[in-house]
A and B are shown apart, each in its own frame.
Chain A
Amino acid sequence: MGERREKLDIIKDILEAIRDKGGSIKPTHLLYKSNLSHDSMKKYVSELMEKEMVLENEDQKTKEKKYGITDKGLKFLSDYKQIKEFTDSFGF
């Protein structure tokens, strides 16, 4: 059984999934990539939208809903390693 992910790691996985898909991802792909339940993913994404790290937009051709990453989200990813090292050092 895998180790339980910390909230910090889940946020990183979501943002990384969006970034790695060129900055925009379909909800179904994000669900698969983030390895979360549908409800958990919705909860995390809405929290990240509130924090302005993720935004919701619509594909102009297909009219499909997509999630995009903001500059604040990209900043989180660059800060992540530092914070992760810090929290690991103290055993959080």
Chain B
Amino acid sequence: MVLLNGPYWFMSLDSLFNLVYVLITLLIGGLSYKAYKLTEERKYKYFAVAFGLMSIAFFVYFTSTILLTTHISSNVTSILTGFDYAFLVYVFFTMMAYALLFITTLKIEDHKIRTLILTLMFTLTVVAYQYYLKFHIAMFAVLFLLTYNFYDNYLEKKNFNAKLVFISFFLLTCAQLFYLAEIYNGLFYVVAVIMQLVGFLVLFYMLLRILNNGREKRKA
């Protein structure tokens, strides 16, 4: 069963962390949608959709793991565990979200390349065996390039929020390595989840700084 990973004592905590990710990704998506409404530039719309898809993925993960760990219904449990449907839905939405994020932040304009990226991300992960490994390898590659891009952005802008985005994505990238190492020891899964949680909390802190600055500006 791919959806439930790591030590048993950690499963409920892991589920709850996904609710935190839902909140953070929805906030980012919301701010990006606000930018889209103000400028009508498509890049902000795609960015908002990417984070919206991430929210859906985390919500699917949260509800499925809660259903599996609480054993509410044996029918639901057998459906979810039959062919790892829940994990595949989670993978599908996550991969589509990161593909869109990749295309938007790396400013890939060519439609053919965009289609190729989306197709590759989809086929390499969902339509394949050993999708847990392939998913995290693909995620590592995408996150690594995104982190590199955010590092460049930090060097260019030299502002603290850009640094926080870079740190956050660096942690999310490292987390993928620990997810892969889980095949050797279940405790690596715990390290990966905590690293991912800290990564998202750094993003949340960055959002709070932006929202507070906006509020202070209005008061002034």
Q: A18 to nearest B CB, angstroms?
A: 16
The answer, among B39, B43, B164, for a CB contact under 8 Å with A89, is B164
Contact B165 A82 (CB under 8 A): no
The answer, among A8, A82, A89, for a CB contact under 8 Å with B162, is A89
Known: A8-B35, A83-B34, A86-B35. A91 touches B150 (CB 8 A): yes
Contact B217 A82 (CB under 8 A): yes
Main SS class of interface, A:
helix
Q: Which residues of A contact B34 (CB under 8 A)?
A: 79, 83
Contact B153 A91 (CB under 8 A): yes
Contact A76 B38 (CB under 8 A): yes
Known: A78-B217, A86-B35, A91-B149. A7 touches B41 (CB 8 A): yes
Query: Which residues, 51 to 92 on A, are CB-close (under 8 Å) to B?
Result: 76, 78-79, 81-83, 85-92
Q: B64 to nearest A CB, angstroms?
A: 30
How does the 8 Å CB contact mask read for B182-220 relative to A, with 1 for contact and 0 for none?
Answer: 000000000000000000000000100111011001100
Q: A3 to nearest B CB, angstroms?
A: 10
The answer, among B32, B41, B149, B150, for a CB contact under 8 Å with A86, is B32
Residue of A nearest to B211 (CB): A82
A11 at the interface (CB under 8 A from B): yes
Q: Which residues of A contact B58 (CB under 8 A)?
A: none
B12 at the interface (CB under 8 A from A): no
Q: Can you list 15 A-B contacts (CB < 8 A)? A: A7-B39, A8-B39, A78-B214, A79-B34, A81-B214, A82-B31, A82-B213, A83-B34, A86-B32, A86-B210, A88-B162, A89-B210, A91-B152, A91-B162, A92-B44
Q: For the complex of A and B, list the 9 residue pairs with the smallest distance between their C-beta atoms, beginning with the closest.
A: A91-B153, A82-B214, A89-B161, A85-B210, A83-B35, A86-B31, A81-B217, A89-B165, A7-B39
Interface residues of A (CB under 8 A from B): 7-8, 11, 76, 78-79, 81-83, 85-92
